Amino acid sequence: MSATISGFSKLSKSEKIDWIVSHYLSNSETAKHTIIQYFNSDSELQQLHDEFIENTISNYYLPFGVAPNFVINNTIYAIPMAIEESSVVAAASNAGKFWMARGGFKAEVLSTTKIGQVHFMYPGDFEDLKQYFDTIKPKLITDTKAITANMEKRGGGILDIELRTRTEDLNHYYQLHATFETLDAMGANFINSCLEQFAKTFKAEAEEHLNAPIEIVMSILSNYVPDCLVRAEVSCKVEALEDKGISGQVFAEKFVRAVNIAEVEPHRAVTHNKGIMNGIDAVVLATGNDFRAVEAGVHAYAVKNGKYTSLTHAKIEDGIFTFWMEIPLALGTVGGLTGLHPLVKVALEILGNPSAKELMKIVAVAGLAQNFAALRSLTTTGIQEGHMKMHLMNILNQFNATNEEKEFIVNHFKNNTVTHSAVVSEIEKIRQ
């Protein structure tokens, strides 16, 4: 079935579909129907989606949901989330409602510095290089004025450029390590444009000042932003945690122990942090930001001290339970998809058209809430009971259950444990 092709990108959309269907899909008519049925009936909207990426043949839908009842810094939010995993939105909603009655979430942005680097090789004397850098640094900044003018008008721009040596790790390897403030823009294109101009100026001027050549390897922003930090937390008196027949003290102690385990055991920490990212990624995606960049930066931060550990922390002190998290988040509310994707515009409006700093707080809170909900389930009823009830409809849809079958089986499992085999058994009973 497989095949190669030259000039695929030059084919029309329908020609691309026909080629894929004929060479890679066995049931061609069914496959083609599936691809086409996800087209948007609005031709202008479909063209907009087609032009987001290359070689588009269809749209891939994710559910777009809302988790209401979030109080963040005394403001009420309904948080939009785009995700396919069962129980994530429900868990976030439950956590939001739980803490609404206990003072809500607090969040603050600690710093917003972003990073970019020019990576280069230099086989000559370091002192010569350092002297050259000190001489050329003002020109590096001056030569980017055409790029930075608009950003500077809004209060952002280049913060600093440092020369860093990494020759202990790799022979002749150095960096121009630059820091930026990009305000409400995520800033990737802005940062990369500045870096490429740094590299151009740095190399061109080097010929007059250095006896050894500079080789520019690459110029690129970093998605590791440990100085673009936001903190989110919740706290209340321990007795206020009493819930579902469990005393506040017992709940708090068990909850703290669960967090402590994630702090010391990497196998648990990875799954623990994945749960945090369920909440974070869903909001990042809904608001048109880059969840891959966020994931990479957050997980790098989790290992910043040399061992992978929990991103969240918890304590009981003087009768007060506190649960908190500090994470790096480089987000934007202007540029990119934020001004193009219609649902992204809706998501941002639901959130009150936040600034990048406000969005950082909301996203961090969504992650903290998700983690709280998961640990609350794990340390009390167990996580599968709630998750499988939310997953029930997915199982029924896998077996093409009718509406009548769904209604009967959902009622049956209101008072019975949901497992895949138990659901299949009920379907078979009905159909017999």
The HSE-up count of residue 139 (CA atoms within 13 Å, CB side) is 13
C-alpha–C-alpha distance, residues 339 and 41, integer Å: 21
Determine phi and psi for 80, rounding to 5 degrees: -75, 140
Longest dimension (CA), the chain: 87
- Pinpoint the alpha helices (H) of 51-187: 88-100, 126-142, 145-153
Any long-range contacts for 57-61 (C-beta under 8 Å, 24+ apart)? 57/13, 57/16, 57/17, 57/20, 58/17
Contact 314, 256 (CB under 8 A): yes
- Pinpoint the alpha helices (H) of 143-233: 145-153, 188-209
C-alpha–C-alpha distance, residues 261 and 120, integer Å: 42
Catalytic residue among 119, 281, 387, 426: 387
C-alpha–C-alpha distance, residues 130 and 385, integer Å: 62
Distance in Å from the first CA to the final CA of the chain: 39
3-state helix, strand, coil in the chain (%, to 5): 50, 20, 30
C-alpha–C-alpha distance, residues 402 and 427, integer Å: 10
387 flagged as catalytic: yes
Contact 360, 351 (CB under 8 A): no
Catalytic residue among 85, 227, 253, 295: 85
| 201-229 burial: b if 16+ Cβ within 10 Å, else e | bbeebbeeebeeebebeebebbbbbbebb
Contact 199, 187 (CB under 8 A): no
Catalytic residue among 137, 274, 315, 357: 274
290 flagged as catalytic: yes
Contact 229, 109 (CB under 8 A): yes
Place of tokens 């640990």: 375
Catalytic residue among 181, 233, 290, 426: 290
The HSE-up count of residue 391 (CA atoms within 13 Å, CB side) is 14
Catalytic residues: 85, 274, 290, 387
